[in-house]
């Protein structure tokens, strides 16, 4: 077998696959954050907690109710999305007119509550979720677990579907227009407050969907979203929140960068995304795909 810079191909491609999977989660989560920010003017700090809730809902369904993965893949985002809708109606809605800071603080507080409650009820050590598609293929240069391959493809499909929904459909046109000028869109007869609620529900549902996909790969635990949401913030700063495609590309790209760092200089793998963020701030402060300052 060939070797690359002294790195065995198994390790290289293994890490690249892991990077791609992480990137898939970054992309899905930063997409949701960007869409929510556009409509609600709120940076949704609860995003990591909602991702965790998605995974947890799937795990609870499986262990308590024998509901299989494929059903949970649909049900869990619906349930968590509904929960998001309630949050929006009861709380977020009341703070849109305030400085962005308050939305950030409110959703940070909500994340503490949700994660604290889950930790209190189920502890912080993780529970395993069996892989819904066991087995894998030996590709010669690496071993590809089927489920991991599925996650990458599924995430890509979900991201592209989201892009299509926003950029190419009537509903997406309402979203884009309402992001720019909600007052006018409302004066055309669109129920913009309901559109905002729905957007939050969709963004949260997307986070939960990512959580369900993550469940068989990572341990399902109350704190699985805590660090993730911080990395996703950096992803969002790097990509800028103006462009949907930008979020997707940045998410996958940074996952790969992280994977490569794990191969060539493992100690920096945790921090490399933040270093990239610092560089982007130096060179293009508005973000790679951002227009606004």
Partner 1 sequence: MVEALLKVDDLQAWYGESHILHGVGFEIGHGELVTLLGRNGAGKTTTLKSVMGIVEKRTGSVTFEGRQLVGHPSNEIARLGIAYCPEERGIFSSLNVEENLLLPPVVKPGGMSLAEIYQLFPNLEERKRSQGTKLSGGEQQMLAIGRILRTGAPLLLLDEPTEGLAPVIVQRIGEIIRQLKSRGFTILLVEQNFHFAATVADRHYVMEDGRVIDMIASADVQQNIGKLQTYLGV
Partner 2 sequence: MTTQRTVTLVLLAAALVAPWFAYPVFLMTALCFALFACAFNLLLGYVGLMSFGHAMFFGMAGYFYGHVVKAWNMPPELGLLAGVAGAAALGLVTGALAIRRQGIYFAMITLAFAQMVYFFCVQAPFTHGEDGLQGIPRKALLGGLIPTKDDRVLYYVVLAIFLFGYAAIYRFIHSPFGQVLKAIRDNEQRAVSLGYEADRYKLLAFVLSAALAGLAGATKAMVLQFATLTDVSAAMSGEVVLMALVGGLGTIIGPVVGAFIIITMQNYLAAAGEFVLVIQGVIFVVIVMAFRKGLVGELADWWKSRRRAG
180 touches which of partner 1, partner 2, none (CB within 5 to 8 A by kind)?
partner 1
* 2 lies in the site for partner 1, by CB under 8 A: no
The answer to whether the beta carbons of residues 63 and 115 sit under 8 Å apart is: no
* 234 lies in the site for partner 2, by CB under 8 A: yes
Strand-pair partners of 145: 136
Phi/psi for 243 (5° steps) reads -125, 130
224 to 53, 56, 183: CA distances (angstroms): 10, 10, 38
* 188 lies in the site for partner 1, by CB under 8 A: yes
Secondary structure (H, E, C), 149-206: HHHHHHHHHHHHHHHHHHHHCHHHHHHHHHHHCHHHHHHCCCCHHHHHHHHHHHHHHH
* 180 lies in the site for partner 1, by CB under 8 A: yes
* 160 lies in the site for partner 1, by CB under 8 A: no
Task: Rule CB under 8 A: choose which of 71, 78, 96, 102 binds partner 2.
Answer: 102
Smallest distance from partner 2 to CB 221, Å: 13
* 190 lies in the site for partner 1, by CB under 8 A: yes
Number of chain residues interacting with partner 1 (CB under 8 A): 18
Smallest distance from partner 1 to CB 170, Å: 7
Stretch that binds partner 1, among 110-118, 152-160, 183-191, 246-254 (CB under 8 A): 183-191
If the CB atoms of residues 37 and 252 are measured against partner 1, the closer one turns out to be: 37
Smallest distance from partner 1 to CB 254, Å: 25
Instruction: Tally Cβ neighbours within 10 Å of residue 21.
Output: 22
| Long-range CB contacts (within 8 A, 24+) of 164-168 | 166/35, 166/244, 167/244
Smallest distance from partner 1 to CB 153, Å: 29
245 touches which of partner 1, partner 2, none (CB within 5 to 8 A by kind)?
none
Read off the tokens for 170: 């009537």
How far is residue 237's CA from residue 146's CA, in Å, rounded to a whole number? Answer: 33
Stretch that binds partner 2, among 128-136, 144-152, 228-236, 250-258 (CB under 8 A): 228-236
Read off the tokens for 188: 């055309």
Report the interface residues with partner 1, using CB under 8 A: 170, 173-174, 176-177, 179-181, 183-192
């Amino acid at each position: 077998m060939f070797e690359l810079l002294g790195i065995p191909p198994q390790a290289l491609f293994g890490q690249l696959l892991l990077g791609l999977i992480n990137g898939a989660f970054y992309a899905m989560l930063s997409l949701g954050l960007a869409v929510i920010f556009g409509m609600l003017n709120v940076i949704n700090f609860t995003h990591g907690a909602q991702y965790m809730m998605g995974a947890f809902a799937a795990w609870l369904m499986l262990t308590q109710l024998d509901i299989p993965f494929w059903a949970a893949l649909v049900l869990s985002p619906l349930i968590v999305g509904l929960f998001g809708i309630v949050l929006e109606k009861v709380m977020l809605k009341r703070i849109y007119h305030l400085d962005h800071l308050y939305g950030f603080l409110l959703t940070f507080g909500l994340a503490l509550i949700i994660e604290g409650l889950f930790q209190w009820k189920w502890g912080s050590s993780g529970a395993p979720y069996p892989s819904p598609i066991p087995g894998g293929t030996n590709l010669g240069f690496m071993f590809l677990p089927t489920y991991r391959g599925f996650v990458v493809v599924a995430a890509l499909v979900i991201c592209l579907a989201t892009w299509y929904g926003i950029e190419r459909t009537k509903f997406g046109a309402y979203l884009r227009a309402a992001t720019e000028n909600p007052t006018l869109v409302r004066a055309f007869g669109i129920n913009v407050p309901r559109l905002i609620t729905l957007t939050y529900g969709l963004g949260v549902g997307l986070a939960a969907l990512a959580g369900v996909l993550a469940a068989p790969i990572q341990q399902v635990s109350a704190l699985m979203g805590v660090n993730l949401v911080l990395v996703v913030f950096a992803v969002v700063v790097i990509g800028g929140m103006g462009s949907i495609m930008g979020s997707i590309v940045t998410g996958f790209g940074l996952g790969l960068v992280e994977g490569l760092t794990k191969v060539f200089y493992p100690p920096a793998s945790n921090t490399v995304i933040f270093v990239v963020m610092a560089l982007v701030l130096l060179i293009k402060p508005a973000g790679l795909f951002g227009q606004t300052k």
